[in-house]
């Protein structure tokens, strides 16, 4: 029970990686505010997984004012904040010439600007608790990926934002991120459906990493809990790759 009575806000906490993070924190005694774009999404998650210690905190991470309100509501309900996890994200594929303003702006707003606005709003509470931030970046923030220029730009920005804020906030608030490769979630299934050939897309996703499989959401959650916990007390500014070796270098296969 590393996180007994720890106060946590997880944006994007009602599904995918975020939901696994919420469950992992709850299993170790935390009180968790679940952020999501709609109350309906949060209610479905709570109904499926139980409501013990869970606090709804709806808000659109792509909107600055909504970020601030979500963080404010979570802090008010929790009585403070020890850990902020920025897990909300979107992923759309498109050739460069097909990326329109909505695709670009929304990708940057949710994947990069939203985490910054949430961190900014949470700073007084995190400084008071000497807490920390863990953001979900991506292996696409460490290396390029064809067909996802906006996503790569946003996640690369989030990696370097993590490093910059770690320096700005040391020693009061630690700031880290994890960089997953392909993870077996609803978002990946939606990308497969959008590709027009979900079977082929899933096969590609499974051979994408040298280890020859996708990550499980629980594996990402475990890394987040490490970075948020006392064992990582000397870790700040880190971008932890959890990508089955994809960014390590060329594979022989």
Catalytic residues: 151
* Residue 246 Cα distances to 48, 171, 182, angstroms: 34, 32, 10
């Amino acid at each position: 029970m590393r996180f007994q009575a720890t106060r946590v806000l997880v944006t994007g906490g009602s599904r995918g990686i975020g939901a696994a993070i919420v469950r992992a924190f709850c299993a170790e005694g935390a009180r968790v505010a679940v952020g999501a774009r709609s109350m309906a999404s949060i209610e479905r998650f709570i109904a499926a997984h139980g409501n013990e210690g869970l606090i709804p905190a709806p808000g659109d991470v792509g909107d600055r004012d909504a970020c601030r309100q979500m963080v404010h509501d979570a802090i008010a309900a929790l009585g403070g904040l020890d850990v902020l996890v920025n897990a909300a994200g979107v992923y759309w594929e498109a050739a460069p010439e097909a990326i329109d303003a909505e695709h670009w702006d929304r990708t940057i707003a949710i994947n990069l600007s939203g985490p910054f606005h949430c961190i900014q709003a949470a700073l007084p509470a995190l400084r008071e608790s000497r807490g920390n931030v863990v953001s979900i970046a991506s292996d696409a923030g460490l290396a390029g990926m064809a067909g996802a220029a906006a996503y790569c730009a946003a996640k690369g920005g989030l990696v370097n934002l993590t490093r910059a804020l770690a320096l700005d906030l040391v020693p009061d608030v630690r700031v880290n991120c994890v960089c997953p490769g392909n993870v077996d979630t609803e978002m990946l299934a939606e990308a497969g459906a959008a590709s027009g050939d979900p079977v082929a897309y899933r096969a590609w996703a499974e051979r994408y990493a040298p280890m020859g499989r996708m990550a499980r959401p629980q594996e990402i959650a475990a890394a987040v809990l490490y970075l948020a916990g006392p064992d990582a007390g000397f870790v700040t500014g880190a971008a932890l790759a959890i990508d089955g070796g994809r960014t390590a270098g060329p594979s022989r296969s």
